[in-house]
Structures are given as structure tokens and as C-alpha cells.
Amino acid sequence: MSLVEDLERYRLLLDEALCQATAHYATGVESLKDAMAYAVEGGKRLRGATVLAVAEDLGCGVQEALGPALAVEMVHAYSLVHDDLPCMDDDEFRRGKPSCHKRYGEAVALLAGDALLTEAFEVMATYGALPLDRRTLCVRTLAHAAGPGGMVAGQVIDLALEGRKLGPDAVTLMYSLKTGALFGAAAKLGALAANAREDVQKAAESWGKSFGLAFQIVDDIDDLKQGGKELVKDTLVKESSLDHAIALARSTLDESLAALGPFGGKGRFLRELSLNYLDKIK
């Protein structure tokens, strides 16, 4: 199957499972349930697909890896909801529709984000058939990547950069924490679900950290081409140059490919995804 077909298959699976999980866990209060469902709706599911693809590549069924995959998508969705709030980026649109607080009000959006973050851990601890001890390793991985040593730290650096020129290194660190950490966790969660050897888990995480950083830089470059957010936001292109950004994206994607050594002949999806992104900046 091609990369595009794989991505579409994973996306459909995740869309349906996210819809069911949100309805199952968020009982009782309608506005909260609606806001949570609205917030998870419509993503590309690249992070969740990474979990499923790594697990499948390593011989684990997608059903087994679905809990961690849903959790990663919930964490990603919560981060977007909070990121869009007026006290943060104050974005009115997200995923082609009004952002969560525009639709449900600031308070409910804040709480829907909190609920998605909490539910991510509940889902990982309860959904599907993974053994209990391995679930704890999944919780460690996701919490570490999403918390104050990972994604949230990246958000704080993002705030600190606003209106100040701190240079390309600070932007790169911010991208690594904000985006790289969660992709690293996603790939490692797939390896954990498949009960892979420790060196394979580390290789998966390492691929994800590099790919996530490159993903964010390519996003910048795309925005520049479309004349979008780089005008107002701190991006690597703005802090250095287009050439520098392209060179860094390329070397980071090369690193992601090099990290896959311990996968041996496996890891097709990760390899193809890196090559696909290299292609985008050719």
C-alpha cells in the first residue's frame, strides 16, 4: 500500500474511534461533550497515524495500538484549543472552522481542553487490551513529551519569543519541544504497543523528534509560499532565512532516516514519510 493509502486508512480508523471515545468518556454534560467532539474533529491525524504505523510495521495489530494513538490525538487537539485562546495566539479559525472558543465560549473551550488532556490518560490506561504494565510505560512517554519538559515548555518559549528576536537556535528549540517531542512520543508509543526492543523504541523516538522538527519547519516554508502566518508569527524563516530553513529541514529529515537503523528492514511508513517531506522541499 502507498503512503497516501496508509494515511487515509489510519485517518478513517482514528476519526471513528475518537468519535466513539469522546462520547463514551464524556458522559452527562452535553456542552462539554459537544466541545470536546468539536475540538477533535477534522485533523489530519498524522501523530495518531504514526503510532499505528510503527506498531503495524513492528508486527502489532492496529487495535492494540489504538489506545495510545487516540491519546496522542487528544493531547494534540487539547493543545490547539488552548493555543487558540485569546490569552495565547487568539486565533479565530482552526481546521477550517471557527476555533473552539469562538464556537463554545472561552470557559467551555478551556475546560474542553482540560478534559481532552485528562481523557487522553484515561483512554491510555483503559482502552483496548494492552497489558497493564505496558500502559504505565505509555503514560510515562506521553506525559513526559506533553508536559513541562516537552510541549508545554515549547509553548512558554513561544510566548517568550513574541516580539523579540532571540535567533534561530531559540526557534529551533521551541519547535523541538512544541512539535518534535509529541512526534517522538507517538513513534515510541507505537514501538511500546508492539513490545519492541528498547533500541527500537529509542530509534522510533529519535525518528519522531527529528521528523517533528522538520515538519514544523516545512510548515513555515509552506506558509511563506502562501503569504501566511510568518508575517505575524516568529518562525525560523523569519529568524534566519529561507535557505537556512530549507537546509535545516533537509539535514533533520536525513537524521530521521539515519535513526531508523535498529528497525532493520522494518519501519517502511516512517521512512516513506521522511522521504515525502524531503520531496516537498526539493
| Sites of contact with a copy of itself (CB under 8 A) | 25-29, 31-33, 36, 78, 82, 85-88, 105-108, 110-111, 113-115, 117-119, 121-122, 124-126, 131-133, 135-137, 139-140, 143-144, 146-149, 152-153, 155-157, 159-160
Q: If we measure between CA atoms, which residue out of 38, 234, 55 comes closest to residue 138?
A: 55
Strand, coil or helix: 29: coil
For residues 158 and 185, is the Cβ–Cβ distance under 8 A?
no
Closest approach of a copy of itself to the CB of residue 188, in Å: 14
The distance of Cα 178 from the centroid of its chain, to the nearest Å, equals 9
Shortest spacing between CB 221 and a copy of itself, in angstroms: 27
Least spacing, CB of residue 243 vs a copy of itself, in Å:
29
Angle at 70 between CA 66 and CA 74, to 5 degrees: 175
| Minimum CB distance to a copy of itself, residue 15 (Å) | 19
Task: Give the residue with the Cβ less far from a copy of itself, 141 or 274.
Answer: 141
CA nearest neighbour of 120 among 184, 162, 182, 171: 182
Closer residue to a copy of itself (CB): 154 or 267: 154
Which of 137, 242 has the CB closer to a copy of itself? 137
**Sign of the alpha-carbon torsion through 261, 263, 267, 270:** negative
Please, which residues bridge with residue 243 across strands?
none
- In the complex with a copy of itself, which residue's Cβ is closer, 88 or 275? 88
Residue with smaller CB distance to a copy of itself, 68 or 262: 68
CB-nearer residue toward a copy of itself: 3 or 125: 125
Do the Cβ atoms of 267 and 205 come closer than 8 Å? no
Three-class secondary structure assignment of 56-125: HHCCCCHHHHHHHHHHHHHHHHHHHHHHHCCCCCCCCEECCEECHHHHHCHHHHHHHHHHHHHHHHHHHH
**Long-range contact pairs involving 155-159 (C-beta distance under 8 Å, separation at least 24):** 155/79, 155/83, 155/88, 158/234, 159/88
Cross-strand pairs, 127: none
The CB-of-91 to a copy of itself minimum distance in angstroms stands at 13
- In the bound complex, what is the minimum distance in angstroms from residue 132's beta carbon to a copy of itself? 4
Smallest gap from Cβ 74 to a copy of itself, in A, equals 11
Q: In the complex, what is the shortest distance from the CB of residue 26 to a copy of itself, in angstroms, rounded to a whole number?
A: 4
Which of 138, 270 has the CB closer to a copy of itself?
138
- Output the nine-digit C-alpha cell for 46: 498524522
Q: Compare residues 5 and 133 and give the one whose CB is closer to a copy of itself.
A: 133
**Would you report the helix, strand and coil content of the chain in percent, each value rounded to 5?**
75, 0, 20
